């Protein structure tokens, strides 16, 4: 069915548009070994939050900036292993200009590298970890995404795969929240899809089975 009242889509990137899980895990493993940090990305990562917010809990403040930069270097270097979530490129390629924005907790260089590696068109608007004072689960990223499009957040649908992102979308006042995949951990969404093959655009957002 077509979701009423929706004029634009705000997409999280990792886990929604791109599958970067193994690439990210390899980067974090290399980083953790370099800094002597006891951290396993696959089992301990809080998905959907900024990497810098996680690093801040793991290293001494005196080396924080260096550690964040080193992690970004590792992640960008491994971004070529990123692939598209099924149906994602078809959806982003079909959307009219000004109707979608990517809102990610990744840094801008990393987001651009992963989206490009997965074959997505350049987003008409992109909000990254570099663009907001407070990352997800705060509402700031999704409010910034709606503002970048010039469309009220209540007329935007959000696609998210993580509890922190769903909380951010809810706090921002998103008009409709679509959960993607199987890592939502009980977060309450308006519709759930396994991947983006279930979503399309026909003058508005269409969700199969919703």
The yes-or-no answer on residue 190 being catalytic is no
The yes-or-no answer on residue 12 being catalytic is yes
Catalytic: which of 12, 19, 140, 161?
Answer: 12
Distance CA 55, CA 165 (A): 19
Please give the angle made by the CA atoms of 85, 129 and 172, to the nearest 5 degrees: 85
Please give the angle made by the CA atoms of 137, 138 and 143, to the nearest 5 degrees: 120
In sequence order, what are the residues at sequence separation of 6 or more whose Cβ sits closer than 8 angstroms to the Cβ of residue 73?
A: none
Contact 181, 162 (CB under 8 A): no
In sequence order, what are the residues at sequence separation of 6 or more whose Cβ sits closer than 8 angstroms to the Cβ of residue 149?
A: 8, 98, 99, 100, 101, 124, 125, 156
Contact 66, 56 (CB under 8 A): no
Residues with catalytic function: 12, 14
């Amino acid at each position: 069915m077509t979701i009423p009242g929706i004029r634009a889509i705000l997409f999280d990137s990792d886990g929604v548009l791109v599958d970067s899980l193994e690439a990210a895990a390899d980067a974090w493993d290399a980083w953790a070994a370099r800094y002597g940090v006891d951290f396993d990305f696959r089992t301990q990562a809080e998905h959907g939050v900024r990497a810098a917010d996680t690093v801040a809990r793991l290293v001494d403040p005196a080396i924080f900036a260096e550690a964040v930069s080193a992690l970004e270097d590792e992640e960008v270097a491994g971004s070529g292993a990123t692939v598209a979530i099924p149906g994602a490129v078809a959806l982003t390629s079909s959307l009219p200009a000004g109707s979608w924005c990517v809102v990610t907790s990744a840094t801008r260089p990393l987001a651009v590298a992963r989206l490009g590696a997965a074959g997505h068109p350049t987003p008409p608007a992109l909000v990254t970890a570099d663009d907001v004072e407070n990352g997800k689960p705060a509402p700031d990223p999704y409010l910034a995404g709606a503002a970048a499009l010039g469309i009220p957040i209540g007329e935007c649908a959000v696609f998210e795969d993580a509890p922190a992102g769903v909380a951010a979308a809810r706090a921002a006042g998103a008009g409709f929240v679509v959960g993607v995949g199987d890592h939502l951990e009980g977060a309450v969404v308006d519709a759930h899809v396994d991947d983006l093959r279930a979503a399309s655009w026909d003058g508005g957002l269409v969700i199969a089975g919703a």
